[in-house]
Amino acid sequence: MPTKLPTNTMMDAFKRYCEAIRKTKPVFTRFKDGNLIKHALKHLSEFQIEMLFLWFLREKKHMRPTIGAALSKGIISDFINAGQKEYGFYNKLEKLAKQYIDAEKNSKEIKTEADEMTKILEKLRGELSEKLRPFSYQARAKIAEETAKEERKKK
Protein backbone atom coordinates (compact mmCIF):
# COMPACT_ATOMS: atom_id res chain seq x y z
CA MET A 1 0.00 0.00 0.00
CA PRO A 2 1.52 3.36 -0.99
CA THR A 3 2.11 5.93 1.72
CA LYS A 4 -0.26 8.87 1.90
CA LEU A 5 0.89 12.28 0.80
CA PRO A 6 1.46 14.74 3.67
CA THR A 7 -1.26 17.00 2.27
CA ASN A 8 -3.81 14.18 2.31
CA THR A 9 -2.74 13.18 5.82
CA MET A 10 -3.17 16.76 7.03
CA MET A 11 -6.56 17.08 5.36
CA ASP A 12 -7.69 13.82 6.98
CA ALA A 13 -6.45 15.09 10.35
CA PHE A 14 -8.32 18.38 9.89
CA LYS A 15 -11.48 16.47 9.05
CA ARG A 16 -11.14 14.23 12.15
CA TYR A 17 -10.47 17.18 14.45
CA CYS A 18 -13.32 19.20 12.99
CA GLU A 19 -15.78 16.36 13.48
CA ALA A 20 -14.50 15.68 17.00
CA ILE A 21 -14.36 19.30 18.20
CA ARG A 22 -17.09 21.10 16.27
CA LYS A 23 -19.30 18.13 15.39
CA THR A 24 -19.51 19.31 11.77
CA LYS A 25 -17.87 18.38 8.51
CA PRO A 26 -15.19 20.77 7.29
CA VAL A 27 -15.38 22.67 4.03
CA PHE A 28 -12.57 21.73 1.61
CA THR A 29 -11.54 23.70 -1.48
CA ARG A 30 -9.98 21.50 -4.10
CA PHE A 31 -6.32 22.29 -4.92
CA LYS A 32 -6.26 25.44 -2.75
CA ASP A 33 -6.14 23.52 0.53
CA GLY A 34 -3.42 21.18 -0.70
CA ASN A 35 -1.29 24.09 -1.87
CA LEU A 36 -1.76 25.91 1.43
CA ILE A 37 -0.66 22.81 3.34
CA LYS A 38 2.37 22.35 1.06
CA HIS A 39 3.41 25.93 1.70
CA ALA A 40 2.87 25.59 5.46
CA LEU A 41 4.96 22.39 5.53
CA LYS A 42 7.94 24.42 4.31
CA HIS A 43 7.88 26.34 7.61
CA LEU A 44 6.22 24.00 10.13
CA SER A 45 6.20 20.27 10.83
CA GLU A 46 3.08 18.15 10.44
CA PHE A 47 2.69 18.02 14.22
CA GLN A 48 2.86 21.79 14.50
CA ILE A 49 0.22 22.24 11.83
CA GLU A 50 -1.98 19.72 13.63
CA MET A 51 -1.57 21.73 16.84
CA LEU A 52 -2.56 24.87 14.92
CA PHE A 53 -5.63 23.06 13.56
CA LEU A 54 -6.63 21.93 17.05
CA TRP A 55 -6.22 25.42 18.48
CA PHE A 56 -8.08 27.00 15.56
CA LEU A 57 -11.03 24.62 15.77
CA ARG A 58 -11.25 25.00 19.55
CA GLU A 59 -10.69 28.76 19.92
CA LYS A 60 -12.02 30.30 16.70
CA LYS A 61 -15.51 28.81 16.65
CA HIS A 62 -16.93 31.91 14.96
CA MET A 63 -14.91 31.14 11.81
CA ARG A 64 -15.79 28.60 9.15
CA PRO A 65 -14.00 25.25 9.48
CA THR A 66 -11.75 25.56 6.44
CA ILE A 67 -8.04 24.93 5.98
CA GLY A 68 -7.73 28.32 4.28
CA ALA A 69 -9.02 30.04 7.41
CA ALA A 70 -6.84 27.93 9.71
CA LEU A 71 -3.66 28.68 7.74
CA SER A 72 -4.34 32.38 7.15
CA LYS A 73 -1.76 34.93 8.26
CA GLY A 74 -4.14 36.40 10.82
CA ILE A 75 -4.80 33.07 12.50
CA ILE A 76 -1.12 32.12 12.55
CA SER A 77 -0.33 35.52 14.03
CA ASP A 78 -3.07 35.05 16.67
CA PHE A 79 -1.68 31.59 17.43
CA ILE A 80 1.81 32.99 17.94
CA ASN A 81 0.51 35.88 20.05
CA ALA A 82 -1.57 33.52 22.18
CA GLY A 83 1.57 31.52 22.85
CA GLN A 84 3.24 34.71 24.06
CA LYS A 85 0.37 36.13 26.11
CA GLU A 86 -1.58 33.22 27.60
CA TYR A 87 -0.27 31.62 30.73
CA GLY A 88 -0.10 27.84 30.28
CA PHE A 89 -0.80 28.03 26.53
CA TYR A 90 1.52 25.16 25.63
CA ASN A 91 0.15 23.01 28.46
CA LYS A 92 -3.34 23.52 27.00
CA LEU A 93 -2.04 22.54 23.56
CA GLU A 94 -0.40 19.46 25.02
CA LYS A 95 -3.71 18.41 26.62
CA LEU A 96 -5.54 18.98 23.33
CA ALA A 97 -2.93 16.90 21.54
CA LYS A 98 -3.29 14.06 24.01
CA GLN A 99 -7.05 14.21 23.65
CA TYR A 100 -7.31 14.31 19.85
CA ILE A 101 -4.02 13.21 18.24
CA ASP A 102 -3.47 9.51 17.58
CA ALA A 103 -2.73 7.46 20.67
CA GLU A 104 0.48 6.05 19.18
CA LYS A 105 2.35 9.23 20.07
CA ASN A 106 3.36 9.13 23.69
CA SER A 107 3.56 12.18 25.93
CA LYS A 108 7.36 12.38 25.65
CA GLU A 109 7.17 12.69 21.86
CA ILE A 110 4.44 15.32 22.18
CA LYS A 111 6.50 17.29 24.70
CA THR A 112 9.60 17.16 22.47
CA GLU A 113 7.65 18.29 19.44
CA ALA A 114 5.89 21.02 21.45
CA ASP A 115 9.28 22.38 22.54
CA GLU A 116 10.48 22.30 18.94
CA MET A 117 7.29 24.06 17.87
CA THR A 118 7.92 26.82 20.41
CA LYS A 119 11.33 27.52 18.85
CA ILE A 120 10.00 27.53 15.29
CA LEU A 121 7.05 29.75 16.22
CA GLU A 122 9.47 32.23 17.78
CA LYS A 123 11.40 32.30 14.51
CA LEU A 124 8.18 32.70 12.50
CA ARG A 125 7.06 35.46 14.85
CA GLY A 126 10.32 37.28 14.20
CA GLU A 127 9.89 36.94 10.45
CA LEU A 128 6.30 38.18 10.58
CA SER A 129 7.22 41.11 12.79
CA GLU A 130 9.92 42.15 10.32
CA LYS A 131 7.44 42.06 7.45
CA LEU A 132 4.60 43.81 9.25
CA ARG A 133 6.47 46.62 11.01
CA PRO A 134 6.77 49.90 9.15
CA PHE A 135 9.62 51.00 11.46
CA SER A 136 13.14 51.70 10.34
CA TYR A 137 16.06 49.52 11.37
CA GLN A 138 17.11 52.11 13.96
CA ALA A 139 13.64 52.26 15.50
CA ARG A 140 13.49 48.47 15.74
CA ALA A 141 16.93 48.33 17.36
CA LYS A 142 15.86 50.93 19.91
CA ILE A 143 12.66 49.01 20.71
CA ALA A 144 14.65 45.78 21.08
CA GLU A 145 17.08 47.47 23.47
CA GLU A 146 14.23 48.88 25.58
CA THR A 147 12.52 45.50 25.68
CA ALA A 148 15.74 43.79 26.73
CA LYS A 149 16.21 46.34 29.53
CA GLU A 150 12.64 45.75 30.77
CA GLU A 151 13.11 41.97 30.68
CA ARG A 152 16.35 42.28 32.68
CA LYS A 153 14.55 44.43 35.26
CA LYS A 154 11.82 41.79 35.64
CA LYS A 155 14.38 39.03 36.20
CA 108 to chain centre: 19
Question: What is residue 65's predicted lDDT score, i.e. its pLDDT?
Answer: 92
pTM over 0.75: no
Residue 104 in this model has a pLDDT that exceeds 50 = no
Closest Cα partner for 76 from 13, 28, 124? 124
- 40 contacts 49 by C-beta, under 8 angstroms: yes
Residue 85 lies in a domain: yes
Counted domains in the chain: 1
CA angle at 77 for the pair 118 and 127, rounded to the nearest 5°: 70
Question: 57 exposed, middle or buried (CB, 10 Å; 0-12, 13-18, 19+)?
Answer: buried
Residue 56 in this model has a pLDDT that exceeds 90 = yes
Domain assignment of residue 34, given as a range: 6-154
Residue 133 in this model has a pLDDT that exceeds 60 = no
Q: CB under 8 Å to 77, separation ≥6 — which residues?
A: 128
Q: CB under 8 Å to 124, separation ≥6 — which residues?
A: 43, 44, 76, 80
Question: What is residue 108's predicted lDDT score, i.e. its pLDDT?
Answer: 66
Residue 103 in this model has a pLDDT that exceeds 80 = no
Taking residues 137-148, what's their average pLDDT? 85
Question: What is residue 110's predicted lDDT score, i.e. its pLDDT?
Answer: 66
Residue 1 lies in a domain: no
Residue 49 lies in a domain: yes
